[in-house]
Amino acid sequence: MVAYKMKDRNKEIKKIQLATKNMRKNILDTSLEAGGSSSHFGGGLSIVDITATLFCSVMDYKKDDPFWDLRDRFILSKGHGCLGYYVALVEAGFLKKEDLKTFEKTGSDLLGHPVINRKKGIEFSNGSLGMGLSLGIGVAIAGKKLKKQFNVYVLMGDGECNEGSVWEASMAAPHFKLNNLIAIIDRNNFQQTGSNKEIMTNENLFKKWTSFGWKVKEIDGHNIGEIYDTLLLCNHKKQPSMIIANTIKGKGFSFSENNNLWHHAVLTQSQYDIAIEELNNN
Protein backbone atom coordinates (compact mmCIF):
# COMPACT_ATOMS: atom_id res chain seq x y z
CA MET A 1 0.00 0.00 0.00
CA VAL A 2 1.29 3.45 -0.82
CA ALA A 3 2.16 5.62 2.17
CA TYR A 4 0.66 9.10 1.88
CA LYS A 5 2.91 12.12 2.23
CA MET A 6 2.14 14.29 5.23
CA LYS A 7 0.62 17.63 4.23
CA ASP A 8 -0.82 20.64 6.02
CA ARG A 9 -4.46 19.53 6.37
CA ASN A 10 -6.02 22.98 6.59
CA LYS A 11 -4.08 24.22 3.59
CA GLU A 12 -5.06 21.15 1.57
CA ILE A 13 -8.75 21.49 2.42
CA LYS A 14 -8.80 25.18 1.46
CA LYS A 15 -7.09 24.31 -1.83
CA ILE A 16 -9.67 21.59 -2.54
CA GLN A 17 -12.59 23.86 -1.65
CA LEU A 18 -11.36 26.49 -4.09
CA ALA A 19 -10.98 23.80 -6.74
CA THR A 20 -14.57 22.61 -6.27
CA LYS A 21 -15.86 26.12 -6.93
CA ASN A 22 -13.77 26.34 -10.11
CA MET A 23 -14.96 22.90 -11.16
CA ARG A 24 -18.65 23.68 -10.72
CA LYS A 25 -18.17 26.88 -12.71
CA ASN A 26 -16.43 24.90 -15.45
CA ILE A 27 -19.25 22.35 -15.52
CA LEU A 28 -21.71 25.20 -16.03
CA ASP A 29 -19.61 26.72 -18.83
CA THR A 30 -19.08 23.34 -20.49
CA SER A 31 -22.77 22.44 -20.33
CA LEU A 32 -23.88 25.78 -21.76
CA GLU A 33 -21.30 25.52 -24.56
CA ALA A 34 -22.42 21.96 -25.35
CA GLY A 35 -25.99 23.15 -25.88
CA GLY A 36 -28.31 20.29 -26.74
CA SER A 37 -25.73 17.81 -25.54
CA SER A 38 -25.53 18.85 -21.87
CA SER A 39 -24.42 15.39 -20.81
CA HIS A 40 -25.32 14.00 -17.38
CA PHE A 41 -25.18 17.29 -15.53
CA GLY A 42 -26.55 15.95 -12.22
CA GLY A 43 -24.29 12.92 -11.95
CA GLY A 44 -21.25 15.00 -12.77
CA LEU A 45 -22.00 17.52 -10.03
CA SER A 46 -22.52 14.86 -7.36
CA ILE A 47 -18.90 13.67 -7.65
CA VAL A 48 -17.10 17.03 -7.81
CA ASP A 49 -16.04 17.09 -4.14
CA ILE A 50 -14.69 13.55 -4.46
CA THR A 51 -12.75 14.06 -7.70
CA ALA A 52 -11.39 17.39 -6.44
CA THR A 53 -10.03 15.76 -3.29
CA LEU A 54 -8.45 12.95 -5.28
CA PHE A 55 -6.85 14.99 -8.05
CA CYS A 56 -5.97 18.13 -6.10
CA SER A 57 -4.48 16.48 -3.03
CA VAL A 58 -4.61 12.72 -2.45
CA MET A 59 -3.54 11.04 -5.67
CA ASP A 60 0.10 10.76 -6.65
CA TYR A 61 0.90 11.54 -10.31
CA LYS A 62 3.12 13.70 -12.50
CA LYS A 63 1.24 15.83 -14.99
CA ASP A 64 4.41 16.20 -17.07
CA ASP A 65 4.97 12.44 -17.07
CA PRO A 66 1.53 10.82 -17.56
CA PHE A 67 3.09 7.37 -18.07
CA TRP A 68 5.05 7.40 -14.81
CA ASP A 69 5.05 3.80 -13.54
CA LEU A 70 4.21 4.69 -9.95
CA ARG A 71 1.30 7.03 -10.64
CA ASP A 72 -2.00 6.32 -8.90
CA ARG A 73 -4.71 5.14 -11.28
CA PHE A 74 -8.28 6.52 -11.39
CA ILE A 75 -11.20 4.71 -13.01
CA LEU A 76 -14.56 6.42 -13.44
CA SER A 77 -16.83 3.38 -13.49
CA LYS A 78 -19.94 5.59 -13.72
CA GLY A 79 -18.57 6.92 -16.99
CA HIS A 80 -21.59 9.13 -17.66
CA GLY A 81 -20.43 11.38 -14.78
CA CYS A 82 -17.45 12.46 -16.88
CA LEU A 83 -18.08 16.20 -16.46
CA GLY A 84 -16.98 15.80 -12.85
CA TYR A 85 -13.85 14.02 -14.12
CA TYR A 86 -12.85 16.36 -16.94
CA VAL A 87 -13.04 19.47 -14.79
CA ALA A 88 -10.82 17.75 -12.20
CA LEU A 89 -8.27 17.09 -14.96
CA VAL A 90 -8.24 20.84 -15.65
CA GLU A 91 -7.39 21.52 -12.01
CA ALA A 92 -4.72 18.79 -12.15
CA GLY A 93 -3.10 20.37 -15.21
CA PHE A 94 -3.77 17.56 -17.70
CA LEU A 95 -6.34 19.62 -19.59
CA LYS A 96 -6.69 23.31 -20.36
CA LYS A 97 -9.94 25.09 -19.66
CA GLU A 98 -10.26 25.74 -23.40
CA ASP A 99 -10.35 21.97 -23.99
CA LEU A 100 -13.71 21.83 -22.25
CA LYS A 101 -15.25 23.84 -25.11
CA THR A 102 -14.78 20.78 -27.31
CA PHE A 103 -16.88 18.56 -25.03
CA GLU A 104 -18.95 16.14 -27.13
CA LYS A 105 -18.00 17.97 -30.31
CA THR A 106 -16.89 16.09 -33.45
CA GLY A 107 -13.25 15.07 -33.16
CA SER A 108 -13.04 15.90 -29.46
CA ASP A 109 -10.99 13.95 -26.93
CA LEU A 110 -13.70 14.69 -24.34
CA LEU A 111 -16.72 12.60 -25.15
CA GLY A 112 -19.84 11.75 -23.14
CA HIS A 113 -17.99 8.81 -21.58
CA PRO A 114 -14.23 8.72 -20.97
CA VAL A 115 -12.09 7.41 -23.81
CA ILE A 116 -8.55 6.41 -22.87
CA ASN A 117 -6.00 9.18 -23.48
CA ARG A 118 -3.28 9.00 -20.86
CA LYS A 119 -1.51 12.12 -22.13
CA LYS A 120 -4.63 13.97 -21.02
CA GLY A 121 -4.97 12.06 -17.76
CA ILE A 122 -7.75 9.71 -18.90
CA GLU A 123 -6.45 6.33 -17.76
CA PHE A 124 -9.20 4.06 -19.10
CA SER A 125 -12.25 4.05 -21.35
CA ASN A 126 -15.52 3.40 -19.56
CA GLY A 127 -19.22 3.61 -20.06
CA SER A 128 -20.83 0.21 -19.65
CA LEU A 129 -21.93 0.20 -16.02
CA GLY A 130 -20.61 -2.51 -13.75
CA MET A 131 -17.23 -2.84 -15.46
CA GLY A 132 -15.03 -0.38 -13.59
CA LEU A 133 -14.50 -2.34 -10.40
CA SER A 134 -13.42 -5.46 -12.27
CA LEU A 135 -11.05 -3.33 -14.33
CA GLY A 136 -9.68 -1.80 -11.12
CA ILE A 137 -9.10 -5.26 -9.66
CA GLY A 138 -7.08 -6.25 -12.71
CA VAL A 139 -4.93 -3.12 -12.46
CA ALA A 140 -4.44 -3.62 -8.71
CA ILE A 141 -3.38 -7.24 -9.25
CA ALA A 142 -0.94 -6.11 -11.94
CA GLY A 143 0.55 -3.60 -9.52
CA LYS A 144 1.06 -6.32 -6.94
CA LYS A 145 2.64 -8.75 -9.42
CA LEU A 146 4.96 -6.08 -10.81
CA LYS A 147 5.80 -4.89 -7.28
CA LYS A 148 4.76 -1.34 -8.22
CA GLN A 149 3.66 0.85 -5.33
CA PHE A 150 0.59 2.66 -6.60
CA ASN A 151 -3.07 2.88 -5.58
CA VAL A 152 -6.10 2.26 -7.77
CA TYR A 153 -9.20 4.41 -7.18
CA VAL A 154 -12.54 3.33 -8.66
CA LEU A 155 -15.51 5.72 -8.50
CA MET A 156 -18.85 3.93 -8.92
CA GLY A 157 -22.53 4.85 -8.89
CA ASP A 158 -25.05 3.48 -6.42
CA GLY A 159 -27.46 2.57 -9.22
CA GLU A 160 -24.54 0.78 -10.83
CA CYS A 161 -24.54 -1.60 -7.87
CA ASN A 162 -27.61 -3.24 -9.46
CA GLU A 163 -25.18 -4.91 -11.85
CA GLY A 164 -24.25 -8.50 -10.99
CA SER A 165 -20.67 -7.97 -12.15
CA VAL A 166 -20.18 -5.54 -9.25
CA TRP A 167 -20.88 -8.30 -6.75
CA GLU A 168 -18.61 -10.78 -8.49
CA ALA A 169 -15.87 -8.18 -8.23
CA SER A 170 -16.73 -7.49 -4.60
CA MET A 171 -15.83 -11.09 -3.77
CA ALA A 172 -12.61 -11.09 -5.78
CA ALA A 173 -10.88 -8.04 -4.30
CA PRO A 174 -10.67 -9.33 -0.69
CA HIS A 175 -9.71 -12.79 -1.95
CA PHE A 176 -6.64 -11.30 -3.63
CA LYS A 177 -5.93 -9.04 -0.61
CA LEU A 178 -5.93 -5.92 -2.75
CA ASN A 179 -5.06 -3.31 -0.16
CA ASN A 180 -3.99 -1.05 -3.03
CA LEU A 181 -7.61 -0.79 -4.22
CA ILE A 182 -9.92 1.99 -2.97
CA ALA A 183 -13.48 2.02 -4.31
CA ILE A 184 -15.93 4.89 -3.77
CA ILE A 185 -19.69 4.72 -4.28
CA ASP A 186 -21.37 7.98 -5.27
CA ARG A 187 -24.59 7.36 -3.37
CA ASN A 188 -26.92 10.05 -4.73
CA ASN A 189 -29.96 7.73 -4.56
CA PHE A 190 -30.96 8.17 -8.21
CA GLN A 191 -30.32 6.50 -11.54
CA GLN A 192 -31.38 7.30 -15.09
CA THR A 193 -35.09 6.50 -14.89
CA GLY A 194 -35.90 7.14 -11.25
CA SER A 195 -34.91 6.71 -7.64
CA ASN A 196 -33.05 3.64 -6.47
CA LYS A 197 -35.96 2.77 -4.17
CA GLU A 198 -38.35 2.71 -7.14
CA ILE A 199 -36.12 0.68 -9.44
CA MET A 200 -34.08 -1.65 -7.22
CA THR A 201 -33.81 -1.07 -3.48
CA ASN A 202 -30.18 -1.20 -2.45
CA GLU A 203 -30.13 -0.67 1.29
CA ASN A 204 -27.50 -1.62 3.87
CA LEU A 205 -24.57 -1.09 1.51
CA PHE A 206 -22.28 -0.82 4.53
CA LYS A 207 -23.25 -4.28 5.75
CA LYS A 208 -23.16 -5.78 2.27
CA TRP A 209 -19.62 -4.64 1.48
CA THR A 210 -18.38 -5.44 4.98
CA SER A 211 -19.73 -8.97 4.66
CA PHE A 212 -17.66 -9.47 1.51
CA GLY A 213 -14.48 -8.59 3.40
CA TRP A 214 -13.94 -4.92 2.56
CA LYS A 215 -12.91 -2.20 5.01
CA VAL A 216 -15.94 0.10 4.73
CA LYS A 217 -16.49 3.71 5.77
CA GLU A 218 -19.67 5.74 5.19
CA ILE A 219 -19.21 9.51 4.83
CA ASP A 220 -20.76 12.78 3.73
CA GLY A 221 -19.65 12.96 0.11
CA HIS A 222 -19.71 16.76 0.12
CA ASN A 223 -17.70 17.32 3.30
CA ILE A 224 -14.18 17.95 2.01
CA GLY A 225 -12.54 17.37 5.38
CA GLU A 226 -14.31 14.05 5.83
CA ILE A 227 -13.49 12.90 2.31
CA TYR A 228 -9.85 13.90 2.73
CA ASP A 229 -9.42 12.25 6.13
CA THR A 230 -11.13 9.04 5.02
CA LEU A 231 -8.99 8.68 1.91
CA LEU A 232 -5.83 9.14 3.98
CA LEU A 233 -6.97 6.38 6.34
CA CYS A 234 -7.43 3.84 3.55
CA ASN A 235 -4.23 2.08 4.55
CA HIS A 236 -5.01 -1.46 5.65
CA LYS A 237 -2.68 -4.43 5.49
CA LYS A 238 -4.93 -7.03 3.90
CA GLN A 239 -8.19 -5.44 2.75
CA PRO A 240 -9.48 -3.34 -0.12
CA SER A 241 -11.27 -0.18 1.01
CA MET A 242 -14.83 0.89 0.20
CA ILE A 243 -16.05 4.43 0.83
CA ILE A 244 -19.81 4.95 0.66
CA ALA A 245 -20.16 8.66 -0.08
CA ASN A 246 -23.64 10.05 0.55
CA THR A 247 -24.12 12.73 -2.08
CA ILE A 248 -26.76 14.93 -3.70
CA LYS A 249 -27.41 14.59 -7.40
CA GLY A 250 -26.98 17.99 -9.05
CA LYS A 251 -25.15 19.34 -6.00
CA GLY A 252 -24.54 23.08 -5.96
CA PHE A 253 -27.54 24.61 -7.69
CA SER A 254 -31.10 24.98 -6.43
CA PHE A 255 -32.80 23.87 -9.65
CA SER A 256 -30.74 20.68 -10.04
CA GLU A 257 -30.24 19.37 -6.50
CA ASN A 258 -32.11 16.07 -5.94
CA ASN A 259 -33.91 16.67 -9.25
CA ASN A 260 -33.51 13.59 -11.44
CA LEU A 261 -34.60 15.54 -14.52
CA TRP A 262 -30.99 16.69 -14.47
CA HIS A 263 -29.67 13.21 -15.06
CA HIS A 264 -29.46 14.34 -18.68
CA ALA A 265 -31.04 17.76 -19.20
CA VAL A 266 -30.05 20.78 -21.29
CA LEU A 267 -28.84 23.89 -19.46
CA THR A 268 -30.46 27.16 -20.58
CA GLN A 269 -28.97 30.62 -20.37
CA SER A 270 -31.44 31.67 -17.66
CA GLN A 271 -30.57 28.61 -15.55
CA TYR A 272 -26.89 29.30 -16.11
CA ASP A 273 -27.34 32.86 -14.82
CA ILE A 274 -29.15 31.60 -11.71
CA ALA A 275 -26.41 29.05 -11.07
CA ILE A 276 -23.61 31.61 -11.43
CA GLU A 277 -25.31 33.90 -8.93
CA GLU A 278 -25.72 31.03 -6.46
CA LEU A 279 -22.09 29.97 -6.94
CA ASN A 280 -20.82 33.50 -6.35
CA ASN A 281 -22.90 33.85 -3.17
CA ASN A 282 -21.59 30.64 -1.60
Question: Is 100 domain-assigned?
Answer: yes
First and final C-alpha spacing in the chain: 38
Work out the burial of residue 229: count CB atoms within 10 Å of its CB; fewer than 13 is exposed, 13-18 middle, 19 or more buried. Answer: middle
Question: Is 136 domain-assigned?
Answer: yes
Work out the burial of residue 264: count CB atoms within 10 Å of its CB; fewer than 13 is exposed, 13-18 middle, 19 or more buried. Answer: middle
Helices (H) and strands (E) in the chain, counts: 10, 7
Per-residue confidence of the chain (282 residues) as pLDDT tens digits?
Answer: 444 556 799 999 999 999 999 999 999 999 999 876 667 888 899 999 999 999 999 999 999 999 999 999 999 999 999 999 999 999 999 999 999 999 999 899 999 999 999 999 999 998 789 999 999 999 999 999 999 999 999 999 998 888 999 999 999 999 999 999 999 999 988 676 666 677 787 888 999 999 999 999 999 999 999 999 999 998 666 899 999 999 999 899 999 988 877 777 889 999 999 999 999 998
Q: Are 41 and 257 in contact (CB under 8 A)?
A: no
Instruction: Give the alpha-carbon dihedral of 37, 40, 46, 51, to 10 degrees.
Output: -70
Q: Any bridge partners for residue 155, and if so which? A: 76, 184
Question: Is 3 domain-assigned?
Answer: no
Question: Is 95 domain-assigned?
Answer: yes
CATH number at residue 161: 3.40.50.970
Q: Looking at the 3D structure of the chain, how many domains does it have?
A: 1
Domain that holds residue 33: 9-281
Count CB neighbours of 128 within 10 A: 12
pLDDT at 1: 44
Q: What does DSSP assign to residue 108?
A: -
